[in-house]
Amino acid sequence: MMMAAILIFSMGWIAIKVGLNELPPITFATIRFFIASCLMFTFLGVTRQFPALKTITRKEICIFLVMGSVGIFLTYTFTFIALTFISASESAIIINLDAVFIAIFSILFLNERLTIFKIVGFSIAFLGVIVVVTEGQFTSGTLTSTRFLGDILILASAVCWAVFSIVGKTATNRFSPILVTGMSFAIGTPLLAALSFATEDVGILMSASAISWAAILYLGLANSIATLLFFTCLKRTEEASRVSVLFLLLPIFVPIFAFFFIGEIITYFIIVGAVLVILGVYFVELK
């Protein structure tokens, strides 16, 4: 089930690239999360989890607000815009730094211990990102390109997701992970919608092709199901670290899928960068 979830997540990057051929990024993200929210709320209603919110405190409301605005709104605003500038392969490698940022924030704010493995992991992972971003060419042209802007945005997305994960640890002490995710969707989706209406032509959805709608439905339905599977498995296992290590496969599957489905070229820099980032994250998560 977890491998299936990873494969579904990996194909999500391909679906985003396909949809962005016709759809504005924020509108695309908004409709994706609207569909996902409907599915999530239906599941929460069927499983009768909403009554748990009757005991919510002001602090927990603030936690949900941060998770929705940072973990959903900012994360996916940055991600969808970034993918208009960079390849799916490049983005999947850089986004894996979220595990590194989670470790850094845990050391800074949760008093986790800084080990030699983490230091080595940080260094190797960031070296991998540098290899991918620069392609071995440290020139001013590389650092001022729109592609570099996309790299910065996807890096910002990784930071936002790390904040979401750290803050979410507090919320899941009393509420189920799926309920926490659903509340995050409920806050983040309207923010995406507001930005979409303010900055983009949402009417373009009416003229979108079947392929674009297939991409929307894939992200809204399949990725949401994968999320449910992920949290369900994580809740039932005692070794959550094994689950997180599976996500190291993302920089492997995404370039392969991107090559076969949308014709992206797998360069030596993508391969080397992916290996370094995977190795770095492995060291960071090593106990």
- Domain count for the chain, please give it: 1
Q: What is the mean pLDDT of residues 261-280?
A: 92
Parent domain of 251: 2-285
Q: Does residue 90 carry a pLDDT above 90?
A: yes
Average pLDDT, the chain: 87
Torsion of CA 182, 244, 173, 67, to 10 degrees: -40
- In which band, very low, low, confident or very high, does the pLDDT at 238 lie, cut at 50, 70 and 90? very low
pTM of the model: 0.90
Q: What is the mean pLDDT of residues 275-281?
A: 91
Q: Does residue 271 carry a pLDDT above 90?
A: yes
**Between the CA of residue 210 and those of 119, 214, 215, what are the distances in Å?**
47, 6, 9
Counting residues of the chain whose pLDDT is more than 70, the rounded percentage is: 89
Please tell me which residue, 85 or 178, carries the higher pLDDT value: 85
**Between the CA of residue 14 and those of 20, 88, 89, 257, 262, what are the distances in Å?**
10, 7, 9, 7, 7
Q: What is the mean pLDDT of residues 222-231?
A: 72
Q: What is the mean pLDDT of residues 12-39?
A: 95
